[in-house]
Amino acid sequence: MMKLKVWGGAGEHGRSAYVLSGSDIHLLLDCGVKREGAGEYPLIEPELVLKLNAVFLSHAHEDHSVAIPMLYRLGYQGEVWTTRETAAQVESYFESWRAFTERSGGPLPYEEADYKAIRYRFLDEAAARLTWFEVVPGVEAMWGRSGHMAGSVWLLIRAEGKEIFYSGDYTAESMLLEDDSPRGVRKEAIYADLAIIDAAYGTDAESQNDKLELLEKTIRSTLDQGGKVLLPVPATGRGQEMLLWAYRTYRDTPIVIERGLLNGMERLLSSPEWLRERDGYTGRDMKAQVERFLRREDLLVPGHEDDRIRLLDTLGASIWFITDGMMQSELARWYYEQLREDPRHLVLLTGHASKGTFAERLLRQPSAYGVCAVKKLKYKVHQGCEDVRRMMSAMPARHNVLVHAVKEETDRLRSRLLEEVEAAHDQVQIHSMSASEELWF
């Protein structure tokens, strides 16, 4: 028997951390934080940290990565297995989290020396995609691209006679990034023992095309009124995809881009193995499409505040892409100050807004801050109901744990899925869990 212990990430959005424990082997999948209050950290058990044989990091986002230095603070001596691209990105997330804790007045439970103590091993150097390799004696692993951001992966692990699948953050609908379906990677007819599945969108069954259609109509409505649309997005991830989409969709509309998003686009060219081979919209080579975008002569990229003020004054209906999806940064708030007094303008959030962040407060009570519109429409970078169904079909497991969403939502999704699964697969169990809970499998 092995045990799953949830240190965070199930029944909540953030601080993903899942411990797999057997009689001799102890593994940790991710170790992130949650941007609520002064910051929340995984429910780490110090005595178990010393027993860990290996740590895996699925991708760089803070809710999966930023608590890793706590492990070294508590005496972990081992390695963190991830991709080279992820390791190159994480420093910026650590810096962002450090700035957040300073602003919020919360403690940072580790020091710079603990961050520098991290020893990375690279999945993509140890083995090719969809290939088994030995991590440590008694543990084998396989990885595939998860489509969530450059460097992001899913994992399939063998230890103590068990097979465990971890989806990481997964989407098969990225227009820019490739994903490797886990379907068919296990040759055995039997079920995997455990699957930990990204279910961030819960019972939402809409496709990316559905989301894009609504986004297009909403943005078009604001532009037709002569308004400006402010799109706060992460510096890496959906921001680059949305840029390409916006330039295709609004060909005659000025689009202003903060430099950090272009830096993320340039990074993709240095690691083209994460890109789709072909652009699903044009059928052309995806890398060439990114290169062509970066060579555009009409890119509006402000270099400093005077540039921003000039563009705000001279442009009418326009789209503005800025970094920081939760609008915690000084720059994001500066932009809001410029737009808040005109009801024609729109702040459009497309991802998760953690409780207490400026983005969440705007959504909850927009009239308390200004008269411009504030809306949230998802751009898919995670899985909803239909995606979870497909993943459970592609990687059948006896125990399926739904994660990355609040407990009420995974409860609803579990109930919906059980109606179908129980009739066809009496060996399959679906779990909606919370932090600190355990599951033997």
Reply yes or no on whether the pLDDT at 237 is more than 90. no
What is the pLDDT at residue 423? 55
What is the pLDDT at residue 315? 98
What is the pLDDT at residue 38? 73
Reply yes or no on whether the pLDDT at 258 is more than 80. yes
In sequence order, what E strands does 57-129 have? Answer: 80-82, 120-122
What is the pLDDT at residue 365? 96
In this predicted structure, which of 74-83, 103-112, 221-230 has the lowest mean pLDDT?
103-112
Whole-number average pLDDT of the chain: 95
What is the pLDDT at residue 424? 58
Average pLDDT of the segment spanning 415-420: 90
The number of C-alpha atoms within 13 Å of 280 and in the hemisphere containing its C-beta is 12
Reply yes or no on whether the pLDDT at 371 is more than 90. yes
CATH number for the segment(s) 3-204+382-440: 3.60.15.10
What is the pLDDT at residue 240? 94
Beta strands 133-136 and 346-349 are unpaired
Reply yes or no on whether the pLDDT at 425 is more than 70. no
Average pLDDT of the segment spanning 214-224: 98
pLDDT digits (tens, 9 = 90+) for 164-196: 999 999 999 999 999 999 998 987 768 999 999
What is the pLDDT at residue 419? 85
Both structure tokens of 317: 């209906």
Residue-wise burial string across 351-380, b where 16 or more C-beta atoms lie within 10 A, e elsewhere: bbbbebbbbbbbeeebeebbebbbbeebbb
Reply yes or no on whether the pLDDT at 426 is more than 70. no
Query: pLDDT band for position 135 (50/70/90)?
Result: very high
Residue 12 near residue 40 (C-beta atoms within 8 A): no
Reply yes or no on whether the pLDDT at 116 is more than 80. yes
Reply yes or no on whether the pLDDT at 283 is more than 90. no
- For residues 96 and 426, which has the higher predicted lDDT (pLDDT)? 96
pLDDT digits (tens, 9 = 90+) for 196-206: 999 999 999 99
Reply yes or no on whether the pLDDT at 422 is more than 80. no
Structure-token match 């830096």, residue found? 263
Q: Rounded to whole angstroms, how far apart are CA atoms 168 and 145?
A: 10
- Helix-, strand-, coil-residue percentages of the chain, each rounded to 5: 35, 25, 40
Domains 3-204+382-440 and 208-376 share a fold: no
What is the pLDDT at residue 163? 97
Residue 286 near residue 330 (C-beta atoms within 8 A): no
| Per-domain boundaries in the chain | 3-204+382-440, 208-376
pLDDT digits (tens, 9 = 90+) for 314-344: 999 999 999 999 999 999 999 999 999 999 9
Top CATH class of 208-376 equals: alpha beta
Structure-token match 């450059």, residue found? 150
Query: pLDDT band for position 357 (50/70/90)?
Result: very high
